[in-house]
Amino acid sequence: MRKKFFSLLLIFILALSMTQTAYATSISDLQKQRQEKENQKKGTQSQLDSVNDQINDLSGEKDDVDAQISELTGQIAEIMASVSLLEDEIADTQVQIEQAQKDYDEAKAKEEAQYHAMKKRIQYLYEKGETSYLELFMEAKSWSDMLNKAEYVQEIYTYDRKMLDNYAATVQEVAQLKESLEEQKSELEAAEYELEQEKASLQESLDEQKEIAADYEVQLAKAKQEAAAYKAKIKQQNAEIQKLASQEAAKKAEEEARKREEEAQKKKQNSQSTQNSSGGTSTASSGGAKTVPPKIGSGSGSDIAQYACQFVGNPYVPGGTSLTSGADCSGFTQSVYRVYGYSIPRNSSSQRSAGREVSYEEAQPGDLICYAGHVAIYLGNGRIVHASSVKTGIKYGNATYKPILSVRRIVN
């Protein structure tokens, strides 16, 4: 009996020892698993933060793209309105040209009719020779009658001569008007061409920005899906951590011991940190990095204006930028300014935003004079030099020959 009792006691002690060992092993595993889950959660949270930063960046960049799309759309609308106005001007000018041609043809016909009538009257007076001319006066009943006949002949000649001169002057005047109208039409067509080029360029930029915006939409949708997946994963990890924490609570004594040890370790670290910080020295420098001043252009406005005049007579070439071989209006101004180190946009509508705005009364040589679909360089005293049209090339002109939209000061 006694032997049996000791045998049972031994079995109970062994079982209790095995239970304690297994329980201790379970707590160690729980701590390790919880730490792994915490680390996984931190990694997931870091990934979520990164995705949220990406969403914020994409949203900000998309807002910028949307703003550019809005601005480009406005610029295209403005150019389309300008083109419409130019088309109306071209149509009106064409009507005036056709009317001038009719007036020219009518004046020319009257001139020729008057010329032939005068020839017939002269022929009538002189075709029978000197005798008939003398008979005209011999038939006079008195000196007074003879003088009246002579004056009548002279008046006929003077009238014919005067009418012929008047018709010839009218023909010349109408021809000059027609030439002027054709030149005006050529300039309007050149301005329309340049506006169409600007519109095409802006439309291309608009299409690119729309593609970028669409790409941002796709990226945003993908990033938001990733964020939702990370949030779900964090929620799952939190549930697993809570479950492990509940299991660890069964060993409060061991947990409190671990906390005391961690607090002691933390105090030690804080003490070391305080000592290190008190013995350190500041290495901050009070001096900031010096920025390199921006490069600026050279030459005065008068220099630029004088230089531009050297190319008067050179051709107008749509889309061209060569001062010698040919340029359009904005290519001409851009190339002139580039010689002096100034960079301005390529097309005329963009050049209306270059430099700073000044009034026409304040305009100085070298300033840009901006019109609808056109731009020129101011020379002073109401004069400009500009690449005008295919017909007239680079030439001088009056600054107010058409409505001025803006005067830009490029040279400080």
Structural tokens at position 350: 């963009």
What is the spatial distance between Cα 381 and Cα 364, in angstroms, rounded to a whole number? Answer: 9
Q: CB–CB of 340/304 below 8 Å? A: yes
Q: Is the pLDDT of residue 349 over 70?
A: yes
DSSP result, 141-157? SSHHHHHHHHHHHHHHH
Q: How many helices (H) and strands (E) does the chain have?
A: 7, 8
Structural tokens at position 327: 């340029």
Report the 10 Å Cβ neighbour count for 189.
Answer: 18
pLDDT digits (tens, 9 = 90+) for 231-260: 888 888 888 877 776 666 666 566 666 677
User: Cα separations (Å) of 147 from 57, 150, 383?
Assistant: 106, 5, 59
pTM for the full predicted model: 0.48
Q: For the chain, what is the radius of gyration of the CA atoms?
A: 48
- For residue 51, the one-letter residue type is V
For residue 306, which of 371, 408, 396 has the smallest C-alpha distance? 396
Cα dihedral 356, 361, 366, 370 sign: positive
Cα 377–Cα 378–Cα 383 angle in degrees, nearest 5: 120
Q: What are the residues whose beta carbons fall under 8 Å from the beta carbon of 391, sequence distance 6 or more?
A: 182, 183, 186, 316
Q: Is the pLDDT of residue 395 over 90?
A: yes
Mean pLDDT across 325-342:
95
How many Cα atoms occupy the beta-carbon half-sphere of 12 within 13 Å?
Answer: 6
Q: Is the pLDDT of residue 356 over 90?
A: yes
Q: Among the listed ranges 84-93, 274-283, 336-345, which one has the minimum average pLDDT value?
A: 274-283
Report the 10 Å Cβ neighbour count for 231.
Answer: 15
Cα 177–Cα 181–Cα 186 angle in degrees, nearest 5: 150
- For residue 319, the one-letter residue type is G
Query: So where are the chain's domains?
Result: 29-240, 301-409
CATH of 301-409, one of 3.90.1720.10, 3.40.50.170, 3.30.360.10, 3.40.50.1820: 3.90.1720.10
Q: Is the pLDDT of residue 18 over 50?
A: no
Structural tokens at position 352: 């209306």
Query: Of residues 212 and 356, which shows the higher confidence score?
Result: 356
User: Cα separations (Å) of 172 from 106, 112, 165, 323?
Assistant: 12, 14, 11, 35
Q: Going by DSSP bridges, is the β-strand pair 374-380/368-371 parallel, antiparallel, or unpaired?
A: antiparallel
- For residue 115, the one-letter residue type is Y
User: Cα separations (Å) of 110 from 115, 163, 329?
Assistant: 8, 9, 42
pLDDT grade, residue 357 (50/70/90)?
very high
For residue 396, which of 404, 387, 409 has the smallest C-alpha distance? 387
Q: CB–CB of 301/366 below 8 Å? A: yes
Q: Going by DSSP bridges, is the β-strand pair 374-380/356-358 parallel, antiparallel, or unpaired?
A: unpaired
pLDDT grade, residue 290 (50/70/90)?
very low
Report the 10 Å Cβ neighbour count for 282.
Answer: 5
User: Cα separations (Å) of 219 from 54, 65, 120, 207, 376?
Assistant: 9, 14, 92, 18, 45
pLDDT grade, residue 401 (50/70/90)?
very high
Q: Is the pLDDT of residue 90 over 50?
A: yes
What is the spatial distance between Cα 170 and Cα 106, in angstroms, rounded to a whole number? Answer: 10
Cα dihedral 328, 329, 334, 336 sign: positive
Q: CB–CB of 306/318 below 8 Å? A: no
User: Cα separations (Å) of 330 from 149, 197, 315, 346?
Assistant: 70, 11, 14, 6
Q: Is the pLDDT of residue 116 over 80?
A: no
